[in-house]
């Protein structure tokens, strides 16, 4: 059980949860309050100020403070970090009639960059000072409690997203430029990032970081929360604004401005990061009682011409990078389409409740490509899937580039609600053959045309047969494509369905590797 909140924690809670009504006070006789005002940076704030700040920093040498390696915070284990408990009474806005509550997150373990947190009230920013008095530590963690830190590691946000009387966490910003969210009834799964630089490149990936946040105090009954963030990295700075609206599908609008310090040819906009270990497409590689283990099972895209593409994810034996070019992408996302407990049989991980994340451009992104990176892994603790939009034009030093988009998180985002949605892919050796492999693709639709033509092709090897049949038990259309690789080690497979010269359903893509 948690200990009773102590006096220092209570005072810290009052100072934080007051939402800085002190800004409107003018009690010059209160010396202690005046002293606190001096210690807590206060200034006018808006998005223009943030953009100017990011631009100014881009013209300066990169400087980023880290927690020293000899600091006990840097030496923390995962188990130690999890033992630190936040005092619920110190939750920001918990004593106010607002739809959101804010929780600062402890630094340390993997989170070694001090992050400054500020609240914005009436256009005025005021720092949330770092203090250990809002956390509980057991006797084994006293050295950690006494350790010096110059900021938190991020923050989480709660809202009665599932039931009116229960406050559940639906969004968190912590580590690098990572953030994640959930819709109704979801468990946390995949993550998003502000910017990806040199992902899967021989030179090594660069991980930008959000070093400071400004959270606007929402009006009473406000249904959205606005968060601003300053991004810094050796190659660029950036000003980000997130407008988060929780619900059945939680939507986060992202407005970003990037200021490159140097030319950046390889970068990703709206990067998504997930985990895929195995499912019926590669089950034989894993000795596991569960039929599948993944946070996402496919990359979904809608091209500028309206074509819907579904690319099942893979856990390859070597690094694989796939590129899907387009002139005006309408959206892309990493999706979790397996929604039954029997798909996973995991009573702890709840993979069937992991959200999908769908990215919709708001501004004109121009020409470019969706890039999918699949990294080999033998453990579900590793995020091994990355997807993002790579513009054709590189980022140039000294310029200013803006990108705006929306990320929808939920079990069934609106972009997926159409006939011909691919709900499962499996693969195995064809019956009676040592050289032919069957790829089994299941489509879901309200009305499946009787006369369906299967258009199947492969970049190498050959397609030696196709079969289609409606499954009586669930009404899905099953398509089986028989592929013979021959001496080849890799092949790009493509399947589309047509009825009366019109495409029906999604185009299925897959990179087979030996």
Beta-carbon contacts of residue 457 (< 8 Å; ≥ 6 apart): 463, 493, 494
Domains of the chain: 1-188+202-263 (2.70.98.10), 266-393 (no CATH), 421-513 (2.60.40.10)
- 162-213 pLDDT tens trace: 999 899 999 999 999 999 999 999 999 999 999 999 999 998 999 999 999 9
391 falls in which pLDDT band (50, 70, 90)? very high
35 falls in which pLDDT band (50, 70, 90)? very low
In order, the DSSP letters of 443-511 are: EE-SS--SS-EEEEEESSSEEEEEEEEE-TTT--EEEEEEEE-TT-SEEEEEEEEEETTEEEEEEEEEE
- 288-313 pLDDT tens trace: 999 999 999 999 999 999 999 999 99
Closest by Cα among 423, 310, 424, 315 to 370 = 310
39 falls in which pLDDT band (50, 70, 90)? low
pLDDT confidence of residue 100:
97
pLDDT confidence of residue 11:
28
pLDDT confidence of residue 65:
87
In the chain, the percentage of residues whose pLDDT exceeds 70 is 92
Full-model pTM: 0.90
Closest by Cα among 175, 157, 154, 352 to 246 = 157
**What is the average pLDDT across 412-425?**
90
20 falls in which pLDDT band (50, 70, 90)? very low
18 compared with 427, residue with greater pLDDT: 427
pLDDT confidence of residue 437:
94
Q: For residue 10, is pLDDT > 50?
A: no
- 475-503 pLDDT tens trace: 999 999 999 999 999 999 999 999 988 99
């Amino acid at each position: 059980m948690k200990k009773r909140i102590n006096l220092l924690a209570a005072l810290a809670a009052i100072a934080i949860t007051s939402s800085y009504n002190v800004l409107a006070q003018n009690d010059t006789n209160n010396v202690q309050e005046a002293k606190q005002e001096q210690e807590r940076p206060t200034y006018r704030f808006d998005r223009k100020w943030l953009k100017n700040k990011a631009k100014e920093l881009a013209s300066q040498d990169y400087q980023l403070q880290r927690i020293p390696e000899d600091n006990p915070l840097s030496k923390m284990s995962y188990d130690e970090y999890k033992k630190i408990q936040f005092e619920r009474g110190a939750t920001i806005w918990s004593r106010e009639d607002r739809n959101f509550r804010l929780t600062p997150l402890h630094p340390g373990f993997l989170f070694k960059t001090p992050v400054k947190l500020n609240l914005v009230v009436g256009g005025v920013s005021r720092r949330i000072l770092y203090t250990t008095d809002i956390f509980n530590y057991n006797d084994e963690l006293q050295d950690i409690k006494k350790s010096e830190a110059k900021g938190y590691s991020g923050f989480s946000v709660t809202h009665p997203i599932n039931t009116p009387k229960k406050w559940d966490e639906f969004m968190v910003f912590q580590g690098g430029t990572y953030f994640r969210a959930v819709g109704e009834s979801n468990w946390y799964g995949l993550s998003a990032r502000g910017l990806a630089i040199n992902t899967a490149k021989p030179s090594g990936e660069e991980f930008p970081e959000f070093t400071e946040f400004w959270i606007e105090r929402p009006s009473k009954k406000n249904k959205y929360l606005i968060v601003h963030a300053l991004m810094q990295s050796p190659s660029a700075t950036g000003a980000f604004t997130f407008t988060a609206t929780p619900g059945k599908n939680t939507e986060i609008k992202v407005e970003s401005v990037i200021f490159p310090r140097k030319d950046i040819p390889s970068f990703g906009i709206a990067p998504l990061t997930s985990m895929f270990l195995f499912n019926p497409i590669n089950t034989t590689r894993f000795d596991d009682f569960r039929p599948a283990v993944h946070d996402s099972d496919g990359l979904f895209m809608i091209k500028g011409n309206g074509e819907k593409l579904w690319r099942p994810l893979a856990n390859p034996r070597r690094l694989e990078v796939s590129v899907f070019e387009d002139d005006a992408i309408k959206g892309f996302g990493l999706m979790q389409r397996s929604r039954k407990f029997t798909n996973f049989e995991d009573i702890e991980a709840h993979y069937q409740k992991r959200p999908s994340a769908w990215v919709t451009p708001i501004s004109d992104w121009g020409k470019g490509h969706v890039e999918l990176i699949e990294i080999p892994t033998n453990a579900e603790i590793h995020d091994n899937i990355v997807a993002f939009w790579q513009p054709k034009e590189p980022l140039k030093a000294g310029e200013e580039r803006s990108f705006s988009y929306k990320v929808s998180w939920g079990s069934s985002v609106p972009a997926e609600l159409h006939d011909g949605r691919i709900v499962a892919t499996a693969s195995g050796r064809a019956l009676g053959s040592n050289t032919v492999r069957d790829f089994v693709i299941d489509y879901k639709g309200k009305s499946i045309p009787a006369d369906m033509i299967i258009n199947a092709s492969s970049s190498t090897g050959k397609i030696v047969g196709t079969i289609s049949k409606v499954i009586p038990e669930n009404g899905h259309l099953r398509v089986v494509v028989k592929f013979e690789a021959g001496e080849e080690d890799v092949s790009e497979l493509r399947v589309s369905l047509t009825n009366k010269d019109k495409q029906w359903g999604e185009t299925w893509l897959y990179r087979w590797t030996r």
